[in-house]
Structure 1
Amino acid sequence: MHILMIECNPNGVAGIANALQLGHHVTFVSADPDFYLNVSPLTKAAFEHANCQVIKSADTFFIDALVELAKGIHADKPVDGVTTYSEYHTVHTASVARALGLPGMNVDGALNARHKHRTRLTLAGTGVRQPRFAHVPTLDHALIEAAVREVGFPCVIKPSDGSASLHVLHLTNETELADYLAELSKVVDYGRSVVRIPDILVEEFIAGELVSVEACVHKDGRIVNLGVTDRCLSGFPYFIEMGATFLNDHPQQAELFAMNEAVLRNLGIDFGFIHAEYILGKDGPVLCEVNARLIGGIVPGLMKISSGVDPYLEVIRQALGEEPEHPIPGKIVASVRWFGSPVDGTLSRIDLEKLKALPGYQDALSYRVPGRPVTKLSKSNFDWVGHMVFTGSSREEASSRCEAALDLIDLEIAVGVAR
């Protein structure tokens, strides 16, 4: 079968590699294929595979041009399925699937999830619990300042089309707001030709634990909630994800599952693997955001460990029109912790070998090789240096094993240049 993959994410390269191993043909379209060579050890072999065609195109983020490119690919070798693991390209994938007459999410549903202001506006009045919010369709500082005053401090401000917690900030005063707007004014894209839309969302800050519900929506509209992923976040003012555990016995699971079905149906999300985040507020779950794709990071790996089902491959199988298997968590609980550098610098050495002797060890990986620059772990998930995965018989055991292992990472960063 021939799969058209529109961009990806670093860990999603594993899905491409697995599809190639199964004998599928993959055409991978990216504005910057070298990006993946620098962030995943699987990329080089995948790109050099006889069944993989890599197309570099600056048009990847421009839907009309991308559709024409996809039609040309389809004419040369008929495409059987189109998909992505990239948050930035969910609407593009839905648009190409529609143009080629292939399985995919309807474009309006993809837009309602992709643009956070559309999520809020579409769900307003439906009974779904959301923060109070204000949508500003432009980077007009006066309008944004007025929106912040309307919502009140403390609040959370974010671009409507962001990802990986990039440019998401907890604000407590006017000075922080002014600094944020000055910084955001310089941001015109997110890299890989992904142009930022001007819309800004200001939301009431809701205190509480952050979790997500992983789900699969079948082509007949049936929603299957797979499990709950708990999340560990860094301290304010940023919201960097530092850990996650995939489980099937969260104490609020029934309420979360019911709410998730209402969210997906009201947004018109009718196909694919979906990742929706909720804050567990004092009055119950509050919707944070919806991502119309498989959860990112290493969490699909946790899902595979616990369920025995590879969600990366199930995304591809569903795109090919097959009935996907459900990676529902089993008795084994898997947990991940990400780690980073306390300073900007160059990675001199990293040693994760000591972790392999610990109970429950599954995997540990550095995203950088010695000699590569690293940024201080401070603003977003893009600051991660690596991850570790451990299992246990419970959320508590798996998580505690991860926390203990963090102290055994041997990390050296060069922070200056001798003169």
Structure 2
Amino acid sequence: MHIVMVECNPNGIAGIANALRLGHRVTLVTADPDFYLNASPLAADAYAHPNCEVVKSADAFSIDALEQLVKEIHAAHPVDGVTTYSEYHTVHAATVARALGLPGLSVEGALNARHKHRTRLALRGAEGVRQPRFAHVEDPAGIEAAIREVGFPCVVKPSDGTASLHVLHLTNEDELQAYLAELAKVSDYGRGVTRIPDLLVEEFVTGELVSVEACVLADGTVVNLGITDRTLSGFPYFIEMGATYFADHPLREQLFAMNEKVLAGLGIDFGFIHTEYFLTPEGPVLCEVNGRLVGGIVPGLMKISCGVDPYLEVIRQALGETPELPFPGEVIATGRWFGSPVEGVLESIDFAAVEELPGFHEALSYRAAGRQVSKLSTSNFDWLGHLVFTGTDRDQAHGRAEAALDRIDVQVSVKVAR
């Protein structure tokens, strides 16, 4: 069968590779094919596969242009499914799937999840769904009025952002002005992804951050799969530094019940969905909804835990098949990301002292030696790599991964001012 992937993400190249191994034809539509070649060790072999076609299009983020392009692809080789692993392109995949009459998330549901202000507005007043106090800012000129409405401390974020990019905790007016000055320089997120002007100002909510991973089947049934905990960096940024996929959270039933209400309220009717919640003393508070499979290393953690590859199941569902669902198993897998403490040129990363530890499963560098690296400071894009460890329970897995971080040998050369 023929699947069209509208962009991807570096880890998601594994899904493309697995689909090719099963004999499917894959067409990857992307504005920047080299992005994946530089970010995934699997990309070169996938690109070279006879059943893989990579279509480069600078206009891929234009929905009209993308729809026309995929119709041309469909005319040459009939398309059986359309999907994406990319947060930036969920609306695009939904729109193209609808245009071809193929399975997919409703466009309205995709929009409500993709744009954070739409999520808040659609669920405002929804019974059983707690949200932070918020203000939607359509023009940056209205930010000060929104801040007065919500108050300091608050969190400001672009409505169409992802990976914690440009999300900041603010405590005063000076921090706000500095934030707006920096954001004004950002017109796009790379790969042709243009930024919309909308911002969201939210009450600062304290509490553990977790996510509910779910799948909405073709008949609209919401199946809650498991919970992913999150380890975050300190203020003022919110960089994800760790994740564990498991089943036995004490608020599981409460989270699952709220998740069903959230997805129904947004019109999310198909596919794997990743929804984040803050755990406050009053109960879960909705952080955000992503109309696609959870990103980063979590799909890999899911596969370790239960043996089901969620990347491949996304493709199978888009092709009209009933997906096998990756419920957490007896093995608990956790991951930790790491970065550089300084900006410079990466000389080497040595995992030898990590690989000998109990529970070690995987260590991966995202950067090749000789490349410029940034200081781990503002977003998930500052990651240098990750570790994955397993355990018989969450505490054991956590402890093993945390201890291993101190045994990574990262060498970075830094220019010294003279």
Partner of 2:293: 294
Report deviation, 1:417.
6.5
1:303 lines up with 2:302 in the alignment: yes
Partner of 2:363: 364
Q: Give unmatched runs, 5+ long, in structure 1.
A: none
Q: How does 1:31-110 map to 2 (within 5 A)?
A: 31-110=31-110
One-letter amino acid of the structure 2 residue matched with residue 37 of structure 1:
L
Report deviation, 1:146.
1.2
Q: TM-score, normalised by structure 1?
A: 0.99
Q: How does 1:110-125 map to 2 (within 5 A)?
A: 110-125=110-125
Report deviation, 1:233.
0.1
One-letter amino acid of the structure 2 residue matched with residue 78 of structure 1:
P
Partner of 1:24: 24
User: d(CA) in 1 for partners of 2:415 and 2:294?
Assistant: 37
User: d(CA) in 2 for partners of 1:282 and 1:379?
Assistant: 28
User: d(CA) in 1 for partners of 2:354 and 2:250?
Assistant: 31
Partner of 2:159: 160
One-letter amino acid of the structure 1 residue matched with residue 206 of structure 2:
A
Helix, strand or coil for the counterpart of 2:78?
coil
Partner of 1:381: 380
Partner of 1:285: 284
User: d(CA) in 2 for partners of 1:216 and 1:86?
Assistant: 16
Report deviation, 1:138.
1.5
One-letter amino acid of the structure 2 residue matched with residue 182 of structure 1:
A
Report deviation, 1:139.
2.2
Residue-by-residue CA offset, 1:21-58 (whole Å, 9 max, x unaligned): 11111000000010111111111111111110001001
Kindly report the root-mean-square deviation, in angstroms, between the aligned alpha carbons of the 2 structures: 0.8
Partner of 2:137: 136
Runs of 4 or more off by more than 3 Å in structure 1?
none
Q: How does 1:345-360 map to 2 (within 5 A)?
A: 345-360=344-359
One-letter amino acid of the structure 2 residue matched with residue 207 of structure 1:
T
One-letter amino acid of the structure 1 residue matched with residue 30 of structure 2:
S
1:239 lines up with 2:238 in the alignment: yes
Helix, strand or coil for the counterpart of 1:134?
strand
One-letter amino acid of the structure 2 residue matched with residue 156 of structure 1:
V
Partner of 1:226: 225
Helix, strand or coil for the counterpart of 1:230?
strand
Residue-by-residue CA offset, 1:71-123 (whole Å, 9 max, x unaligned): 00000000011000000000000000000110001100000000000000000
Helix, strand or coil for the counterpart of 2:60?
helix
User: d(CA) in 2 for partners of 1:417 and 1:252?
Assistant: 50
Residue-by-residue CA offset, 1:176-229 (whole Å, 9 max, x unaligned): 000000000000000000000000000000100000000000010000000000
One-letter amino acid of the structure 1 residue matched with residue 365 of structure 2:
S
Helix, strand or coil for the counterpart of 2:98?
helix
User: d(CA) in 2 for partners of 1:370 and 1:86?
Assistant: 27
Query: CA separation of 1:417/1:51 partners in 2, compared to 1, >3 Å: closer, same or farther?
Result: farther
1:326 lines up with 2:325 in the alignment: yes
Report deviation, 1:145.
1.1
User: d(CA) in 2 for partners of 1:60 and 1:123?
Assistant: 30
Residue-by-residue CA offset, 1:300-328 (whole Å, 9 max, x unaligned): 00000001100000000000000001100
User: d(CA) in 2 for partners of 1:233 and 1:405?
Assistant: 17
Report deviation, 1:418.
8.8
Aligned residues: 417
User: d(CA) in 2 for partners of 1:250 and 1:273?
Assistant: 20
User: d(CA) in 1 for partners of 2:67 and 2:269?
Assistant: 21
Helix, strand or coil for the counterpart of 2:193?
coil
Q: Aligned residues: percent identity?
A: 72
Helix, strand or coil for the counterpart of 1:41?
coil
User: d(CA) in 1 for partners of 2:249 and 2:274?
Assistant: 16
Residue-by-residue CA offset, 1:267-294 (whole Å, 9 max, x unaligned): 0000000000000012000000000000
User: d(CA) in 1 for partners of 2:265 and 2:250?
Assistant: 25
One-letter amino acid of the structure 1 residue matched with residue 267 of structure 2:
G
Q: TM-score, normalised by structure 2?
A: 0.99
Report deviation, 1:355.
1.5
Query: CA separation of 1:261/1:378 partners in 2, compared to 1, >3 Å: closer, same or farther?
Result: same
Query: CA separation of 1:52/1:235 partners in 2, compared to 1, >3 Å: closer, same or farther?
Result: same
Residue-by-residue CA offset, 1:351-404 (whole Å, 9 max, x unaligned): 012211111111000000100111000000000000000000000000100001
User: d(CA) in 1 for partners of 2:368 and 2:5?
Assistant: 27
Q: Give unmatched runs, 5+ long, in structure 2.
A: none
Partner of 2:210: 211
Q: How does 1:175-214 map to 2 (within 5 A)?
A: 175-214=174-213
One-letter amino acid of the structure 1 residue matched with residue 135 of structure 2:
A
User: d(CA) in 2 for partners of 1:233 and 1:371?
Assistant: 28
User: d(CA) in 2 for partners of 1:354 and 1:50?
Assistant: 39
User: d(CA) in 2 for partners of 1:201 and 1:280?
Assistant: 20
One-letter amino acid of the structure 2 residue matched with residue 409 of structure 1:
I
